[in-house]
Each structure stands twice: as structure tokens, then as C-alpha cells.
């Protein structure tokens, strides 16, 4: 990658959603995209073919971007989807040419023009018909009060429903994770750290939902349901796990069934969940 040259960044970027607290890595990735795309047309050798790659374009892939940014593929894909929703980029794919990433209106904002010719300062065209849709996704539908009650019940803590905690929750949901994923991490770390004097202090939203930790915590082996000594204890533990999952999903039974069926480490079946719902239906 060439390190020579420079790009224009307008002050108005500070009013863009990329600049908001909790989106720091999104801002970094956006600047990386601006730096990696062509500043003038040129040919590239892609899958055995020479292809024309225009100004503001780059032939890449989700795999390459996820490796470049050090994140899961679905996180990289979700970020590109957010940029597309805000009309900041467009993408096209083909077997011959791979995935072509294009920064919309790149030439208007990065071309070398005289001051009189320059368009209104802007990092990219950010005001679009999709702005409200993007805002709605950035503020997911979640009962923060109930979630923090759940968090405190599992961890034995007393964290409040304040903006700093809400932003962490929203950031992970915007990354493409589900409310069930957040609950799963809380359950896992509570099981591991709640009775550990050294680690108990880290049972906090800023640690569990940090972007550098969350993916690893989510993929750790599940210690929530061990192998108790009696049948009654097994059933009680299962019921607790089902109840928590149902509460977090807003009693979306199918969502909870899918959650447990996709986790081979937790011995809870569709039948267990349906029987629990039947027993506790009011």
C-alpha cells in the first residue's frame, strides 16, 4: 500500500455519525477506505484479468477487509452496509472482477480544484433519504432498563441505566450482534467471575461489551449449564437459563429456540423450551 500523498477531510465530518462516541473504529475504517481507493483511474490484475478501476474505487473483498481491520467478517460487512445506507459508498460484485468498492462522489470532494470551484465542504455526501433509517438502526429497540436489571441480577452489581452503558449496548447491536448475544456474554462471564475475588471487578459493561473483548467472550465455551448431581438440579438450571433468554428476547419463543439450537454446548432442546412455556403460560 502506497503511503505517499494525502486526502481532504472536511471539518463537517465532526457532525457525521462516524464521529459519535463509540464509533471510533468506524471513523478509522472510513478514513482507511478513503486512503485505499484510487485517486485516479488505473488498471488492476484481478483473478487473472486486467480490469479498469476508476477514481474512488477499489477491488477488494469482505475477507480482506475483515483481516485488514482485525474483526469478524460480519462486523466488516455490517459497516459497509451502514455506509451504503447513508449513500457514502456503493458495491458491486462479479466472478470476473471480484467485489468493487466505490466511494460515492469521491471526485467531487477529493479532486484538486481551485477554492472557487470547490463544492460545499463535506467529508462525503452524508445527507440522504436513508439518514432516518440509519439513525433508527443506531438506536435499536431495546428496553435498557430491563437489560440493566438483568445485568445486575446476573453479576450482583448495581450499574445504572445511563448513557455510557446504553452506548456500549447500542454499539454491539450495531455491529450485528443480537440481544441474545449480549445476554450470553453476561451469563458466561458472571459464571466465571462472580465468585472470583480477582476477576469480579471486571463484571462491568465497559469490559464485557468492549469491542476488543466482546467477540472473544461470545465464543468462549459456555459454562452456564454444567452437569449437576441430580435431575432436579438439572431441570432447575435449565429453567433459569430459559427464563433469562425469554426475558431478554421479549418472550420471542422461536428466537430463543434458535439461540439454543445453534449452541451445542448448552443441552437445552426445543422440547425443553416449549414445555417451559406451557408450564408458565398465564
Q: Return d(Cα 23, Cα 164) in angstroms, integer.
A: 13
3-state secondary structure 127-180: CCCCHHHHHHHHCCCCCHHHHHHHHHHHHCCCCCCCHHHHHHHHHHHHCCCCHH
Task: Give the chain's domains with CATH numbers.
Answer: 11-127 (1.10.10.10), 137-279 (no CATH)
- Rounded-to-integer distance, Cα 134 and Cα 136, Å: 5
| Those residues with Cβ within 8 angstroms of residue 27's Cβ, 6 or more apart along the chain or in another chain | 13, 18, 19
Instruction: Calculate the CA 179 to chain-centre distance.
Output: 12
pLDDT band of 96, cuts 50, 70, 90: low
- How far, in Å, CA of 132 to CA of 138, rounded? 10
Grid cell for residue 156:
450482583
Q: Looking at residues 259-272, what average pLDDT do you find?
A: 74
Q: What mean pLDDT comes out for the span 153-170?
A: 89
The fraction of the chain above a pLDDT of 70, given in percent, is: 75
Handedness of CA 254, 207, 166, 237 (dihedral sign): positive
Q: What is the pLDDT of residues 21-52, one digit of tens each?
A: 788 898 899 999 988 888 888 888 777 777 78
Amino acid at each position: 500500500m502506497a503511503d505517499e500523498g494525502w486526502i481532504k477531510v472536511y471539518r463537517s465530518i465532526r457532525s457525521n455519525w462516524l464521529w459519535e462516541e463509540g464509533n471510533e473504529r468506524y471513523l478509522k475504517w472510513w478514513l482507511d477506505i478513503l486512503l485505499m481507493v484510487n485517486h485516479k483511474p488505473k488498471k488492476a490484475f484481478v483473478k487473472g484479468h486486467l480490469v479498469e478501476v476508476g477514481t474512488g474505487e477499489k477491488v477488494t473483498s469482505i475477507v480482506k477487509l475483515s483481516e485488514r481491520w482485525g474483526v469478524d467478517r460480519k462486523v466488516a460487512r455490517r459497516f459497509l452496509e451502514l455506509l451504503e445506507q447513508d449513500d457514502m459508498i456503493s458495491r458491486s460484485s462479479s466472478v470476473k472482477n471480484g467485489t468493487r468498492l466505490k466511494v460515492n462522489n469521491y471526485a467531487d470532494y477529493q479532486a484538486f480544484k481551485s477554492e472557487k470551484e470547490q463544492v460545499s465542504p463535506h467529508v462525503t455526501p452524508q445527507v440522504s433519504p436513508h439518514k432516518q433509517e440509519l439513525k433508527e438502526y443506531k438506536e435499536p429497540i431495546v428496553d435498557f432498563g430491563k437489560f440493566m436489571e438483568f445485568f445486575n441480577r446476573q453479576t450482583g452489581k448495581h450499574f445504572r441505566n445511563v448513557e455510557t452503558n446504553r452506548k456500549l449496548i447500542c454499539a454491539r447491536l450495531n455491529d450485528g450482534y443480537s440481544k441474545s448475544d449480549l445476554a450470553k456474554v453476561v451469563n458466561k462471564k458472571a459464571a466465571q467471575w462472580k465468585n472470583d475475588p480477582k476477576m469480579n471487578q471486571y463484571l462491568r459493561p465497559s469490559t464485557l461489551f468492549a469491542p476488543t473483548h466482546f467477540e472473544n467472550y461470545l465464543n468462549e465455551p459456555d459454562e452456564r449449564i454444567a452437569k449437576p448431581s441430580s435431575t432436579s438440579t438439572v431441570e432447575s438450571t435449565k429453567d433459569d437459563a430459559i427464563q433469562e433468554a425469554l426475558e431478554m428476547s421479549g418472550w420471542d419463543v422461536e428466537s430463543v429456540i434458535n439461540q439454543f439450537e445453534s449452541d451445542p454446548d448448552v443441552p437445552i432442546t426445543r422440547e425443553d423450551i416449549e414445555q417451559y412455556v406451557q408450564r408458565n403460560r398465564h
